[in-house]
Amino acid sequence: MKVLHISAGNMYGGVETLLVTIARRRELCPQMEPSYAVCFDGRLSRELATTGVPVYILGATRVSRPWTVRQSRHRLRKLLSEKRFDVVVCHMPWSHAIFGPEVKKAGVPLVYWEHGPATGRRWLEAWARRTSPSLAICNSNFTAEAVRLLFSEVPIKVIYYPIDRPPNSDRVAARSSLGIPQNQIVIVQVSRMEPWKGHPTHLQALALLNDVPDWVCWMVGGAQQTVERQYFLGLQKQAARLGIAHRVKFLGQRSDVSQILAAADIFCQPNKKPEPFGIVFIEALWAGLPIVATDFGGASEIINDSCGRLAVPGDASSVSALLRTLIESPALRIAIGQAGPKRAEVLCDPMMRLKQLCETFVGCIS
């Protein structure tokens, strides 16, 4: 079964991580042969190419430049006429709005994959709604509820992301390589530099812990756009204003996230807005870290009392109280962390999730 995935390719986040995982772990479900069509040649296309899967570049496409839309649609039309695909998957409203009509014209089953919460009110969603897919896949039950605003009559399937367990890392060695004393408590957040990820709330919560000794916080993630760079500078100023700049380190974009998680003690990401799913929560669970997050969106589906704690959204004092308990209770912190890998396996074992995805595609074309 040949499956073509269509995505923009100009950014790199959760969607792109999923696409690379499907390509890299395709041996787990050999009957599903993935190919990719992306508009922008960048990190995504390069990482996909290293896996050996077919990658087709449709060309830089911007809605503000209609001729680029026509050109990329023409390239997809040509690709669909020259290659046989059993299913075409458009990821997110942008790809579906631009390329969904061409897939329908070619007579190939069209699947829409939603990775973020739809509102039904954005102009891009209204455009995407004009092309009804055969099936909608969602990355969480939270996202599925929103997708019904776009395609109320379309069957919806919830499939959690396949996320690999990283190689086992030696905690002592990881902390030593990063210069962290063994008795220091490391709180970590790994996310893009966007306000809805909750960095300001996290910093406010940490300021309430200034009386607690022996903790530091690592903020991992780099800015990809100008507005994100301004946000990043604002966070540094906020940390200084709160008197915790000496305890909070902004590490920027890192390629050693698995090592950083292995060296940490607590993962904290108090989102301001709901996380559609939350790959990083699963990565933290695989690393054996207790999680503090906010009680809505994908976090509510991933995190339960066995592996973490959920705070009141937007409430820094609630986040701070949960962090304080975990910092001051080593036995509780360790017990919750040890339950993480099992929870990650139940939710996101790659073999189970890729098999589920394959079965979903088979059902779509049968």
pLDDT in the model for residue 227 = 86
278 closest CA partner among 207, 361, 185, 198: 198
Q: Are residues 237 and 143 part of one domain?
A: no
pLDDT in the model for residue 226 = 80
pLDDT in the model for residue 255 = 82
Q: Are residues 179 and 35 part of one domain?
A: no
277: Cβ contacts below 8 Å, ≥ 6 apart:
14, 115, 139, 140, 143, 160, 161, 298, 301, 302
Number of domains in the chain: 2
pLDDT in the model for residue 176 = 82
pTM of the complete model beyond 0.85: yes
181: Cβ contacts below 8 Å, ≥ 6 apart:
175
pLDDT in the model for residue 167 = 82
Q: Are residues 136 and 8 part of one domain?
A: yes
pLDDT in the model for residue 169 = 76
Q: Which domain holds residue 300?
A: 171-347
Q: Are residues 281 and 142 part of one domain?
A: no
- CATH code assigned at 190: 3.40.50.2000
Strand partners, 38: 7, 57
pLDDT in the model for residue 31 = 94
Q: Are residues 136 and 85 part of one domain?
A: yes
pLDDT in the model for residue 181 = 85
Q: Are residues 238 and 341 part of one domain?
A: yes
pLDDT in the model for residue 173 = 82
Q: Are residues 243 and 214 part of one domain?
A: yes
Q: Are residues 206 and 137 part of one domain?
A: no
Q: Are residues 152 and 205 part of one domain?
A: no
pLDDT in the model for residue 179 = 82
User: How confident is the model over 62-90, as pLDDT tens digits?
Assistant: 999 999 999 999 999 999 999 999 999 99
Query: Taking the chain, what is the end-to-end CA distance rounded to the nearest angstrom?
Result: 12
Q: Are residues 181 and 52 part of one domain?
A: no
pLDDT in the model for residue 171 = 81
pLDDT in the model for residue 85 = 97
Q: Are residues 311 and 196 part of one domain?
A: yes
pLDDT in the model for residue 122 = 86
Residues of the chain with pLDDT under 70: none
Q: Are residues 154 and 261 part of one domain?
A: no
